[in-house]
Amino acid sequence: MKSAPPADTSDAALAEVASSSTKLASSKEKTKRTALTRTSPKPDVEGAPSESSSAGSLTSLQKAMRDSLDGARFRLINETLYKNASERAKGMMQEDPRMFEDYHAGFRRQVQSWPTNPVNHYIDSLSRYPPRTVIADLGCGDGALARALVPEGFAVLSFDLVSDGGYVVAADTCSAVPLPGSEGNEGEKSAGEGQVVDVVVCALSLMSTNWPGCIREAWRILKEGGELKIAEVTSRFTDVDLFIALLGSVGFKLKSKDDSNSHFMLFEFKKVARKWKKEKDWDAILYKGDLLKPCEYKRR
Ligand code: SAH
């Protein structure tokens, strides 16, 4: 039985995220100004005190207040990303790229408290792959995988909602990854053609309500027999078997599942040939985004 996809976050909530950018910037400024007038008598450049002098001068109460504001903003952006379709998330990030930076600063703080982090696990395991393996990192964040593996001779193609002007290419991975590959022809069973990617990584990045679109794109860009590696927060799964079945319907065969970690699950799938699908079959698959619940990070 089909269930309705989760409703998008209201416009009011989105407006709140956008305005929190301005509010927090001004409250950070206020904290900085207060700190400066109290304890920073010697700015590095006249009239333009440096960030380090202001950060160093925060009292522990001011630092606690700043951290709590940063944490609240991170949770608000996080919720918006999980409760909306990717088109909306992309528009929001492009309008205010600071949102992307703030999100990532908060995300890094969160995962630092975990015993291990999926990206480090992938850096370690992929570094043992043959040289010239082509890896696509869908929802790469700050591109940690590429930063570690490109210098080792791997081709890592990194995509996220906002580009950093270096390693990361801006793309909505749930609708169109700018890489070659077809889905085959009507009435035929095939693996498509034109693909160059050996491994796709989705590390904690199946965030938007239309995340099955990212799985569809992963299949389209992978060579036949290519690997899809997924890491997701354990508490997001409503039913792991249904999740695996959805991946199966897109054309991925489960190779391994690892639930030994306390925070996230790791899956490895292999791309197999499949029968061409009509758009109405895709609609039924995309409709199943609520198999993964939004991830709510706790106050820390
Ligand atoms: N994989 C990285 C980042 C994880 S945070 C790591 O493990 O360190 C999840 C990332 O997925 C965020 O950077 C978010 O912007 C990205 N993301 C979520 N939905 C996306 C989409 N539709 N298109 C591109 N990136 C997306």
DSSP letter at 234 equals G
| Whether 53 contacts 40, CB under 8 Å | yes
Q: Which atom of ligand 1 lies at the shortest distance from residue 231's CA?
A: 7
Is the pLDDT confidence value at 32 over 80? no
Q: Position of tokens 């269930």?
A: 3
What is the tens place of the pLDDT at every residue in 56-72? 678 999 888 888 888 88
Q: Which of 17, 108, 160 maximizes ligand 1 atoms within 8 Å of its Cβ, making it the mutation to test the pocket?
A: 160
3-state secondary structure of 166: coil
CA–CA distance, 131 with 129 (Å, rounded to integer): 6
Q: What is the length of the chain?
A: 300
Phi, psi (degrees; rounded to nearest 5) at 45:
-120, 135
Phi, psi (degrees; rounded to nearest 5) at 155:
-95, 110
DSSP β-bridge partners for residue 45: 48
| Whether 57 contacts 15, CB under 8 Å | no
pLDDT reported for residue 56: 64
Identify the H or E element spanning 230: strand 222-233
C-beta of 160 in contact with ligand 1 (< 6 A): yes
Q: How far is the CA of 78 from the centre of ligand 1 (A)?
A: 11
pLDDT reported for residue 131: 86
Q: State the distance between the two ends of the chain, measured CA to CA, in whole angstroms.
A: 38
Q: What is the mean pLDDT of residues 24-51?
A: 36
Q: How far is the CA of 119 from the centre of ligand 1 (A)?
A: 12
| Whether 138 contacts 201, CB under 8 Å | yes
Which residues are CB-neighbours of 218 under 8 A, at least 6 positions away?
136, 138, 200, 202, 228, 252
pLDDT reported for residue 159: 98
Band of the pLDDT at 45, cuts 50, 70, 90?
very low
Is the pLDDT confidence value at 47 over 70? no
Which residues are CB-neighbours of 173 under 8 A, at least 6 positions away?
86, 138, 139, 159, 160, 205, 214, 217
Q: How far is the CA of 28 from the centre of ligand 1 (A)?
A: 26
Band of the pLDDT at 298, cuts 50, 70, 90?
confident
Which of left, alpha, beta for 165 (phi over 0: left; psi -120 to 50: alpha)? left
pLDDT reported for residue 198: 98
The pTM is what? 0.84
| Whether 202 contacts 271, CB under 8 Å | no
pLDDT reported for residue 16: 54
| Whether 17 contacts 76, CB under 8 Å | yes
C-beta of 78 in contact with ligand 1 (< 6 A): no
pLDDT reported for residue 230: 98
Residue by residue, DSSP assigns 235-281 as: GGBS-HHHHHHHHHHHTEEEEEEE--SSSEEEEEEEE--EE---HHH
Q: How far is the CA of 139 from the centre of ligand 1 (A)?
A: 3
C-beta of 158 in contact with ligand 1 (< 6 A): no
Q: How many CB atoms lie within 10 A of CB 155?
A: 16
DSSP β-bridge partners for residue 265: 232
Q: How far is the CA of 295 from the centre of ligand 1 (A)?
A: 13
| Whether 192 contacts 182, CB under 8 Å | yes
What is the tens place of the pLDDT at every residue in 169-186? 999 999 999 999 999 999
| Whether 149 contacts 186, CB under 8 Å | no
Band of the pLDDT at 35, cuts 50, 70, 90?
very low
